[in-house]
């Protein structure tokens, strides 16, 4: 249906987004808490109108459209940067005299209605023959806005697109703080918070994958917002290539967020008739703190992006071979590990890197996706059979986008890689990147993967990607991160279509490709290569702002962590893995009898509770527990409450000693205030010698006597319970079940 009303009102359950369409360009005039029917859009339009001429400024206000352009007179960072390249020499209009594209000023032509909350606003610049289409959808159930912009070249000249933001979204002036993400390999998803000053906070990622250091997410919020209270706006770009994120307070004081794909010089050339689609920007508003904001994003992923079939299926306990054997594959060892894994309760055995020829270290083999006949003289079948006989399914590691120069594939097709002419390749884990924009490359990769999936009982792919794209030029010598990313999505889709029951994990050195774009084609994320439980608590907290627990690959690592070289007890390692998609990744032969008992117990807790760990609502807690040297970060607390609020698991981890003699109160969240809950402390295991005790003094009874008692939801949430004095690196898990 096509129409042209003067305003467009989209309402979610808790938020509203109102646009003015009566002027030349689409402008957001309100985005925030849901407004009632009493408030009509005209009132908002009037209230948001500039009241007087700005002294020393433009006489009429310069609009802040969904895509502000230079042609509209916009003076901050434009939403679009394009230029005319050349007229099409074959066209009858070869001596093209239309105005150049750089000063585009598209005007609203029509509104296409797909549903109550999903519309396309079509804008056209009649002089330049270029259209901008804004696709905008506020999901009523989850309050997540999905917005993107397409540019259509209807002219007879080619145009270069240097920047086309998914959208430029204005924010209320009282939103003063920016939470951004930073990190590195094995230390991903750390956050920082800044006060927003005049000017721009800009984050750019040019790594050719989502990146470890610049996760494409931002949260803008009020100075006093915390987990349980206050206003917050979340933004995430669903894209696995390069990106630019910007939170800008314009010189005229208007705050905006703009996000889009970062395009390399000359990367997008639109010939006459061609178009470019920006990635989706996902955005949401919460009036009730960061936790609520995350719950909205989690629900949106679950309901609109992930495959329903996978969402409904229990996530099996994984065993991954990487940190147990690395490249040292030996059938008998693997069978022993499989036996141990099955005994502990593992349900899926994943054979990591090292199973293909020439892969005895990371210097060779990538690209030759055949089973190594030396390590596996009878192929993988005997191992898979053994694993299946033990009742476990089988998963296999691939890194399809890569090739080692020391491989048959590279020797046969040295030209199949991304490269920039006359520049030596930047060394990066002894591997280079295949040019997926060449159809023969993706045909080869599909053929190899398909043949293994067809002939062997493989139910899971760990799809890895272990380097940046430092030289992202294709065979034509053009920059190709955009096309490479699209080609990757197409290849994943082809594999999925041919093998719909196979699940795919997105792993880019752990945490390097975590975004909603890749999640439209994959089923879980390997969160980080760092299995150190203390590090993981922080990484997983950062991850949880935009991703729910079932997507978070979380493994119990070895006693001595291979990455941080820290030694941590099973009593801490196991509970940290419980709250994700649980697995283990260690040489199971190292387990002491006590560790094995604890690990088995944790696996069984996971199996009992995963139905709501993976579908319930996450609550991060503001424990505000002090350690004078590090500020309020001595502990991390969070919980998951089942959707019907009848059951919950809460976790408390003490990372550092606290400086207060009286430990803090642990205040639960998300319960029904007037319902009664039985509280049980289910971790550490009772009677296992690890029950928490003071490091200096034994309490008379070392069991806090709240265990097994019944409390109202409001008592647990308003007062909470005073934590026992614990030693650092301790963890407690509370189980709450509503009394019948
Ligand atoms: C990456 C992954 C690891 C492992 C190795 C194998 O680092 O993140 O989990 O699969 O590659 O080389």
Residue 453 CA to ligand 1 center (angstroms) comes to: 21
pLDDT score of 98? 77
Q: What is the pLDDT of residues 451-470, one digit of tens each?
A: 999 999 999 999 999 999 99
Lowest mean pLDDT among 85-94, 146-155, 221-230, 253-262: 85-94
pLDDT score of 701? 45
Q: Which of 210, 212, 352 has most ligand 1 atoms within 8 Å of CB, for mutation?
A: 352
Residue 578 CA to ligand 1 center (angstroms) comes to: 21
Residue 252 CA to ligand 1 center (angstroms) comes to: 48
The band of 689, judged by pLDDT with boundaries at 50, 70 and 90, is: very low
pLDDT score of 685? 81
The band of 94, judged by pLDDT with boundaries at 50, 70 and 90, is: low
pLDDT score of 706? 83
What is the pTM (predicted TM-score) of this model? 0.97
CA 621/CA 638 separation, integer angstroms: 5
pLDDT score of 68? 98
Residue 330 CA to ligand 1 center (angstroms) comes to: 19
Q: Quick check: CB of 352 below 6 Å from ligand 1?
A: yes
Residue 138 near residue 10, CB atoms below 8 Å: yes
CA-based nearest residue to 359, from 371, 347, 344: 371
Mean pLDDT of the chain: 94
pLDDT score of 105? 97
Q: Quick check: CB of 466 below 6 Å from ligand 1?
A: yes
Compute how many other C-beta atoms are within 10 angstroms of the C-beta atom of residue 453: 18
Task: Point out the catalytic residue in the list 143, 368, 372, 529.
Answer: 529
Residue located nearest, by CA, to atom 8 of ligand 1:
509
Lowest mean pLDDT among 95-99, 478-482, 519-523: 95-99
The band of 56, judged by pLDDT with boundaries at 50, 70 and 90, is: confident
- Rg of the chain taking only CA atoms, in angstroms: 27
pLDDT score of 662? 82
Q: Quick check: CB of 464 below 6 Å from ligand 1?
A: yes
Mean pLDDT of 212-235: 98
Q: Which of 185, 323, 431, 464 has most ligand 1 atoms within 8 Å of CB, for mutation?
A: 464
Residue 723 near residue 665, CB atoms below 8 Å: yes
Q: Which of 323, 350, 507, 553 has most ligand 1 atoms within 8 Å of CB, for mutation?
A: 507
pLDDT score of 696? 39
Is the model's pLDDT at 437 over the cut of 50? yes
The band of 699, judged by pLDDT with boundaries at 50, 70 and 90, is: very low
CA 681/CA 241 separation, integer angstroms: 44
Residue located nearest, by CA, to atom 9 of ligand 1:
529
pLDDT score of 726? 84
How does DSSP assign 87-154, residue by residue? E-TTSTT-S--SPPGGG---EEEEEEEEETTEEEEEEEETTTTEEEEEEEEE-TTT-EEEEEEEEEE-
Q: What is the pLDDT of residues 224-246, one digit of tens each?
A: 999 999 999 999 999 999 999 99
Is the model's pLDDT at 394 over the cut of 80? yes
Sort strands 393-398 and 348-351 into parallel, antiparallel or unpaired: parallel
Residue 407 near residue 400, CB atoms below 8 Å: no
The band of 698, judged by pLDDT with boundaries at 50, 70 and 90, is: very low
Mean pLDDT of 369-379: 98
Residue 274 CA to ligand 1 center (angstroms) comes to: 39
Answer yes or no: 368 catalytic: no
Lowest mean pLDDT among 50-64, 270-284, 302-316, 432-446: 50-64
Answer yes or no: 587 catalytic: no
Is the model's pLDDT at 672 over the cut of 60? yes
pLDDT score of 693? 47
């Amino acid at each position: 249906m096509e129409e042209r009303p003067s305003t467009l009102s989209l309402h979610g359950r808790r938020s509203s987004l109102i646009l003015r369409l009566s002027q030349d360009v689409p402008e957001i005039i309100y985005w925030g808490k849901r407004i009632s029917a009493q408030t009509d859009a005209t009132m908002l339009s009037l209230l948001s109108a500039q009241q007087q001429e700005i002294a020393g400024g433009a006489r009429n206000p310069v609009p802040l459209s969904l895509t502000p352009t230079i042609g509209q007179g916009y003076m901050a960072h434009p939403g679009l940067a394009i230029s005319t390249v050349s007229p099409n020499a074959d066209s009858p209009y070869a001596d093209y005299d239309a105005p150049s594209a750089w000063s585009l000023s598209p005007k609203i032509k029509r509104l296409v209605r797909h549903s109550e909350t999903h519309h396309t606003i079509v804008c056209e610049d009649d002089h330049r023959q270029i259209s901008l289409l804004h696709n905008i959808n506020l999901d009523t159930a989850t309050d997540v806005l999905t917005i993107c912009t397409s540019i259509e070249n209807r002219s007879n000249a080619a145009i270069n697109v240097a920047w086309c933001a998914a959208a430029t979204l204005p924010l209320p002036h009282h939103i003063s703080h920016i939470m951004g993400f930073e990190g590195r390999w094995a230390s991903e998803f750390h956050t920082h918070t800044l006060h927003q000053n005049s000017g721009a906070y800009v984050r750019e990622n040019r790594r050719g994958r989502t990146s470890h250091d610049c996760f494409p997410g931002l949260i803008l919020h009020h100075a006093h917002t915390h987990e349980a209270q206050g206003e917050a706006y979340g933004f995430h770009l669903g894209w696995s290539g390069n990106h630019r994120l910007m939170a800008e307070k314009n010189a005229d004081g208007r705050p905006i967020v703009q996000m889009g794909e970062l395009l390399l010089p000359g990367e997008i050339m639109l010939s006459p008739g061609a178009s470019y689609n920006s990635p989706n920007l996902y955005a949401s508003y919460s009036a009730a703190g960061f936790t609520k904001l995350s719950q909205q994003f989690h629900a949106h992923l679950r309901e609109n992006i992930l495959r329903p079939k996978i969402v409904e299926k229990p996530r099996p306990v994984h065993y991954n071979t990487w940190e147990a054997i690395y490249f040292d594959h030996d059938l008998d060892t693997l069978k022993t590990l499989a036996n141990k894994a099955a005994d502990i309760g593992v349900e899926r055995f994943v054979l990591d890197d090292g199973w293909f020829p020439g892969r005895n270290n990371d210097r060779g083999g990538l690209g030759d996706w055949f089973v190594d006949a030396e390590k596996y003289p009878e192929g993988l079948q005997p191992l898979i059979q053994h694993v299946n006989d033990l009742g476990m399914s089988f998963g296999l590691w691939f890194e399809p986008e890569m090739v080692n120069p020391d491989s048959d594939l590279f020797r046969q097709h040295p030209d199949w890689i991304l490269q920039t002419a006359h520049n030596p390749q930047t060394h990066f884990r002894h591997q280079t990147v295949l040019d997926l924009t060449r159809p023969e490359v993706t045909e080869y990769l599909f053929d190899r993967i398909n043949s293994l999936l067809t002939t062997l009982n493989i139910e899971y792919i760990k799809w890895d990607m272990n380097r940046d794209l430092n030289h992202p030029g294709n065979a034509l010598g053009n920059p190709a991160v955009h096309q490479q990313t699209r080609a990757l999505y197409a290849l994943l889709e082809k594999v999925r279509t041919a093998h719909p029951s196979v699940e795919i994990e997105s792993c880019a050195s752990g945490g390097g490709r975590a975004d909603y774009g890749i999640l439209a084609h994959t089923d879980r994320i390997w969160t980080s290569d760092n299995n150190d439980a203390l590090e993981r608590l922080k990484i997983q907290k950062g991850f949880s702002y935009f991703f729910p627990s079932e997507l978070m690959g979380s493994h119990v690592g070895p006693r001595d962590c291979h990455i941080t070289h820290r030694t941590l007890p099973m009593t801490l390692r196991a509970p940290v893995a419980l709250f994700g998609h649980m697995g283990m990744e260690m040489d199971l032969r190292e387990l002491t009898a006590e560790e094995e008992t604890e690990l088995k117990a944790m696996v069984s807790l996971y199996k009992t509770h995963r139905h709501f760990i993976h579908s319930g609502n996450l609550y991060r807690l503001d424990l505000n527990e002090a350690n004078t040297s590090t500020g309020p970060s001595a502990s991390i607390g969070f919980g998951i409450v089942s959707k019907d609020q009848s059951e919950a698991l809460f976790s408390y981890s003490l990372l550092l000693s606290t400086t207060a003699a009286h430990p803090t109160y642990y205040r639960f969240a998300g319960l029904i205030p007037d319902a009664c809950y039985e509280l049980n402390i289910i971790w550490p295991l009772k009677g296992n010698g690890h029950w928490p005790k003071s490091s200096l003094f034994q309490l008379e009874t070392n069991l806090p006597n709240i265990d097994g008692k019944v409390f109202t939801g409001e008592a647990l949430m308003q007062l909470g319970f005073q934590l026992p004095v614990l030693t650092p690196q301790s963890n407690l898990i509370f189980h709450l079940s509503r009394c019948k």
